[in-house]
């Protein structure tokens, strides 16, 4: 058994022990929603991989079995999502460039005291890692799994993502981008090829904290039995996050502008097997809820930098959008 197989077996055993312990504690009937959330908590997996010595960086997402893989690769390769790279700090996942020297990722990746961000084949050192103050390891269902990483050298050749400050996430097509494991809804995540993929889903569910954490279900084109949230019909590029996607970007496009609206946190299941197959659930932190915290750490670009890549008008427009919650 390779290391990945060993890790999955360990997770399976750990979750089984936890499930037995929790079930032993649970002797009375509970409200449906609370029961649902508790079951999800039992079968929630953070979508990270352990850093490997000698690994390129990290091995995004599982896809519909009746759709070509190439269409998901093409979606991930869109210039709209060029700001997503891989991020490692003891655990390896993804991150999104939000300023030339700042990356937004998942707090649960911050195991070491420093990290690295790789984008366009270049690796940058992260010297400062900042977890959202409300984040507690093991409590990802509370929805505070966001972290900021400062790069010692700015990324000069990638346009940073624009943060979303509106409230259209639950009614918009969301595009999830990462370098994680892949496979189909039938097989679950079973392959790692280090390639960037995008998939789409509706964020029409939540885990009890919708102001900060939203969810998507992986709808099955062959059966409505796998529907958990909202409509049972999958989108053409429906998919689910997988190991290695943690910290990846969730994007929303409105009025011809693409925004970073979410940070990938976990995959969960209602049947005990969170392997990113049909019926599994994606959980992501809602960027719009964390913009004040991000702004408290991340300075606006200097005038010189700004003029170099965007122009002063972009800054004014960005501030206007955040202030008005539009877009
Ligand atoms: Ca769905
Ligand atoms: Ca659904």
Q: Taking the domains of the chain in order of start, what are their residue ranges?
A: 3-45, 46-327
Q: How far is the CA of 202 from the centre of ligand 1 (A)?
A: 5
CA 53 – ligand 2 centroid, Å = 39
Q: d(Cα 139, Cα 121) in Å, to the nearest integer?
A: 33
The reply to whether CATH 1.20.5.510 applies to domain 46-327 is no
Which ligand is the nearest neighbour of the Cα of 282? 1
Angle at 157 between CA 132 and CA 193, to 5 degrees: 70
* Residue 63 alpha carbon to ligand 2 centre in Å: 15
Check: CB of residue 276 under 8 Å from CB of residue 240.
Answer: yes
- What pLDDT score does 272 carry? 83
> What is the Å distance from ligand 2's center to 205 Cα?
8
Report CA(107)–ligand 2 centroid distance (Å): 28
Ligand 2 center from residue 255 Cα (angstroms): 26
* C-alpha of residue 104 to centroid of ligand 2, in Å: 28
Ligand 2 centroid, distance to 11 Cα (angstroms): 26
Do the Cβ atoms of 107 and 139 come closer than 8 Å? Answer: no
- Ligand number with the minimum distance to the CA of 217: 1
Beta carbons of 244 and 180 less than 8 angstroms apart: yes
The pLDDT of residue 312: 44
- Cα(86) to ligand 1 centroid in Å equals 25
Which of 276, 289, 275, 243 has the alpha carbon at shortest distance from 109?
243
pLDDT by residue for the chain (327 residues), tens digit each? 444 444 444 333 333 333 232 322 222 333 445 555 556 655 677 765 543 332 222 237 999 999 999 999 999 999 999 999 999 998 899 999 999 999 999 999 999 999 999 999 999 999 999 999 999 998 888 899 999 999 999 999 999 999 999 999 999 999 999 999 999 999 999 998 889 999 999 999 999 999 999 999 999 999 999 999 999 999 999 999 999 999 999 999 999 999 999 999 999 988 888 899 999 999 999 999 999 999 999 986 544 444 445 444 454 455 445 544 433
223 CA to centre of ligand 2 in angstroms: 11
CB 70 within 8 A of CB 85: no
217 C-alpha to center of ligand 2: Å? Answer: 5
Query: Edge-to-edge strands of the sheet including 62-63?
Result: 188-191, 182-184, 62-63, 239-240
pLDDT value for 40: 62
Q: What is the number of the ligand closest to the CA of 226? A: 2
pLDDT at 42: 55
How many whole angstroms separate alpha carbon 110 and alpha carbon 269? Answer: 24
Ligand 1 center to 174 CA (angstroms): 10
pLDDT at 35: 54
pLDDT score for 39: 60
3-state class (DSSP) for residue 252: strand
Give the global pTM.
0.80
């Amino acid at each position: 058994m390779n290391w990945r197989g060993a890790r999955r077996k360990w997770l399976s055993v750990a979750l089984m022990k936890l499930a037995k312990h929790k079930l032993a504690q649970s002797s009375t009937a509970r409200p449906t929603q609370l029961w649902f959330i508790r079951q999800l908590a039992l079968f929630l997996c953070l979508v990270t991989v352990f850093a490997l010595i000698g690994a390129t960086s990290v091995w995004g997402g599982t896809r519909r079995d009746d759709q070509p893989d190439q269409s998901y690769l093409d979606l991930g390769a869109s210039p709209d999502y060029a700001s997503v790279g891989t991020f490692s700090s003891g655990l390896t996942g993804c991150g999104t460039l939000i300023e030339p020297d700042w990356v937004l990722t998942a707090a649960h990746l911050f195991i070491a005291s420093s990290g690295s961000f790789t984008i366009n084949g270049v690796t940058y050192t992260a010297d400062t890692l900042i977890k959202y103050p409300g984040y507690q390891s093991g409590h990802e269902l509370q929805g505070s799994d966001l972290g900021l990483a400062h790069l010692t050298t700015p990324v000069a050749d990638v346009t940073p993502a624009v943060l979303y400050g509106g409230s259209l996430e639950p009614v918009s097509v969301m595009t999830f981008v990462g370098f994680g494991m892949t496979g189909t809804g039938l097989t679950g995540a079973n392959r790692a090829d280090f390639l960037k993929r995008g998939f789409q889903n509706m964020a029409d569910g939540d885990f009890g904290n919708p102001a900060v954490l939203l969810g998507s279900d992986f709808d099955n084109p062959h059966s409505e039995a796998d529907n958990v949230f909202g409509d049972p019909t999958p989108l053409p590029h429906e998919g689910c996050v997988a190991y290695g996607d943690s910290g990846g970007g969730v994007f929303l496009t409105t009025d011809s502008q693409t925004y970073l609206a979410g940070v990938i946190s976990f995959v969960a299941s209602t049947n005990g097997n969170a392997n990113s197959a049909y019926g599994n659930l994606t959980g992501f932190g809602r960027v719009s809820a964390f913009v004040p915290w991000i702004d408290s750490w991340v300075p606006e670009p200097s005038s010189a930098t700004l003029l170099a890549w965007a122009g002063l008008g972009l800054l004014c427009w960005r501030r206007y959008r955040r202030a008005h919650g539009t877009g």
